[in-house]
A and B are shown apart, each in its own frame.
Chain A
Amino acid sequence: DAKTTQPNSMESNEEEPVHLPCNHSTISGTDYIHWYRQLPSQGPEYVIHGLTSNVNNRMASLAIAEDRKSSTLILHRATLRDAAVYYCILRTPMFSGGYNKLIFGAGTRLAVHP
C-alpha cells in the first residue's frame, strides 16, 4: 500500500487556521486521498477526501499539490472540539476489484489552545 507521512503532533490556537500536512510521494494516479480524525473516546470520523482537485466541505478543505505527492488538510478556524488525531490515508485500487482497506498510520495529534 502507498505510504503517507505526517508530523506526529501540531499545536494551534483557537479560532486560528490550521494546516495539517501529509506527504505521499509514492501515490499513483488512481489513489484517493482520505482524511479521518479521531476525537477522544470516539471512533474515527470521516473528514474529507479527494483525487486531484482541491475539495471543500462543511468540516474542512483539502488542498492537493499539483504533482499529488502531498496534500494539506485545512481547518479554517480551529475550535477546542477540533483537538483530535488526524489521519491521512491513501485508498488504492486492487487488481481483484474494489479498493484497499482503510489502513491507519500514527496520524497527527492536534492540540488546540484557548
Chain B
Amino acid sequence: SAVISQKPSRDICQRGTSLTIQCQVDSQVTMMFWYRQQPGQSLTLIATANQGSEATYESGFVIDKFPISRPNLTFSTLTVSNMSPEDSSIYLCSVGGGTGNQPQHFGDGTRLSIL
C-alpha cells in the first residue's frame, strides 16, 4: 500500500494567515483527495485532485479558501487561506480507490490550530 507523508504534522497559526500543507506519496497515483476532520467529528471530503486538471471541490468548499496544487503524480498541496478559529481541524491527504475494488490510503494528517 502507498505510504503518505504530510508536512507539517501540526501547526499553530494566527488568524488571517495562510498555511500550505504538503502531501508526498511514495508511488505514482492518479487520484488524490483532501479531507477535513473537525474536532470530535468524522471526515469530510474537501476536494479531489487529479494530476493535470483543476481540483474538483465538494459542496461547501471553494477554491479561494482551499487552493490545491497537483504538480505531479506523487505530490499535492492544500492551502488553508485567511484562517479563522473555525478552520481548526485535522487535514488529511488520501490516495487510491480508483475502482470499487481498491482501498484508499490516508496520511496521518496535519493538526491545525488557529488562535
Using a CB–CB cutoff of 8 Å, the interface residues on chain A facing chain B are: 30-32, 34, 36, 41-46, 49, 51, 85, 87, 91-93, 98-99, 101-107
Q: Which listed residue (B45, B99, B101, B108) contacts A102, Cβ 8 A?
A: B45
B98 touching A34, Cβ below 8 Å: no
Contacts of B35 in A (CB 8 A): 104
Across the interface, do A98 and B98 meet the contact criterion of CB distance under 8 Å? yes
Report the nearest B residue to A45, measured CB to CB.
B106
Complex: A101 Cα to B95 Cα, angstroms? 11
Chain B residues with Cβ under 8 A from A105's Cβ? 42
Establish whether residues A44 and B100, one from each chain, have CB atoms under 8 Å apart when the complex forms.
Answer: no
A91 to B105, CA, bound (A): 15
Q: Could you tell me the distance between the alpha carbons of A99 and B33 in the complex, rounded to whole angstroms?
A: 14
Chain B interfacial positions (CB closer than 8 Å to A): 1, 4, 33, 35, 42-45, 48, 92, 94, 97-101, 103-109
Kindly report which residue of chain A lies nearest to residue B43, judged by CB atoms. Answer: A104
**13 A-B pairs, CB-CB below 8 angstroms?**
A31-B100, A32-B101, A34-B103, A42-B109, A43-B94, A43-B106, A43-B109, A44-B92, A44-B104, A46-B105, A91-B97, A91-B100, A92-B100
Is B100 within 8 A of A99, CB to CB?
yes
A42 near B98 with CB under 8 A, answer no
A36: which B residues are within 8 A, CB to CB?
Answer: 104
- How far apart are B91's CB and chain A's nearest CB, in angstroms? 10
Cβ-closest 9 pairs across A and B: A43-B106, A46-B103, A32-B100, A91-B100, A104-B43, A99-B100, A104-B42, A43-B108, A44-B106
